[in-house]
Structure formats: structure tokens, C-alpha cells
Structure 1
Amino acid sequence: MSESRYYSEFLRDANSKGKVEGKAEGKAEAVLRVLETRGVAVDERQRARIEGCGDPEQLDEWLVRAVLATTADEVFDRE
């Protein structure tokens, strides 16, 4: 493998990872914003769990649940 090809693959992988991390960060913010807008209290442990989640699919599930949840625990209930 040539050196330039290695760098290209490295940069592509790093860029892809960055996109996933950015997507997860945006979704975490959305979950928290929905809960905040609805007046649902989120404690520090719950906030850390949401902000620390790097799985965009999991965050999508939490976002859907946040729309109807009356407590932050309900967002995580089905796990």
C-alpha cells in the first residue's frame, strides 16, 4: 500500500468517525432540547448518559420517547 493511499484511508476513516460523532452529538442535543421544552427534569446522571451516547440509532429511539415522556426515566425505560 502506498503512503499516500494510507493517508487517504486514514483521513477518510477519521472523517467518517467525525461525522458519526457529530451526528450523535446533535441528536443528544435534540433529546435534551425536547425534554427541556416539555418541562421534563433531567438530572446530571441522565444528562451525562445522553451526552455520552455515541450511538445515533440509540439516540433516535430516545428522541422518539422524549416526545411523549413525562419523566426522563421514561426515555430509558425499555432498556
Structure 2
Amino acid sequence: MADLSFYISPLSEEIREEGRVQGRAQARGENILILLDARGIDVTDAVREKISACTDLEVSREWLIRAVHAATAEEIFGPTR
């Protein structure tokens, strides 16, 4: 029988959590882009890349909130509260 202890180890849980955080960050970035598109706001490749590369959930949360009212895509990157 195979040793399955890795799958219940702290290391495996840490790896799973990192994957969950990355997934949430990716989804948040996609949501920001969808919102900007739905509002008819042009998004440059540079802005799209910056949004897509963000892995900080707090920062991307701020960007998502700002995307609701921003007149340009660049405005979402303003100073944090």
C-alpha cells in the first residue's frame, strides 16, 4: 500500500492553501477586468498585465472597489485607503 501521509501533512495543506489564494487572486483580477469592460472602460495591455499579475488579495480588493467608479482603468491603481 502506498504511503499517503503527505496528503494530510502540514506541507500539503500549505500547498493547497497557496493554490486557493492564487485562485482567488486570479478570479479577482478577472472580475476587475470584466467590470471595467462592462463599464466600457478601455484597458491597455500594461494595465491588464498589472491586474492579472497581482497576487495580493487586499490590493486587488481595493482595485475592484475603485473599478466601480473609476473613469479610466489607470485610476484603480490610486493610493490605498
Instruction: Tell me the SS of whatever aligns to 2:71.
Output: coil
Shift in Å, 1:14: 0.2
| Residue in structure 1 matched with residue 14 of structure 2 by the alignment | 13
Q: Match for 2:68: what amino acid?
A: V
Runs (4+) of structure 1 moved beyond 6 Å? Answer: none
Q: Which runs of 5+ in 2 are unaligned?
A: none
Count of matched residue positions in the alignment of Structure 1 and Structure 2: 76
Alpha-carbon distance in 2 for matches of 1:28, 1:69: 16
Instruction: Tell me the SS of whatever aligns to 1:59.
Output: helix
Q: Which runs of 5+ in 1 are unaligned?
A: none
Which has the larger helix fraction?
Answer: 1
Q: CA RMSD in A?
A: 1.7
Q: Match for 1:15: what amino acid?
A: R
Alpha-carbon distance in 1 for matches of 2:40, 2:78: 19
Identical aligned residues as a percent? 37
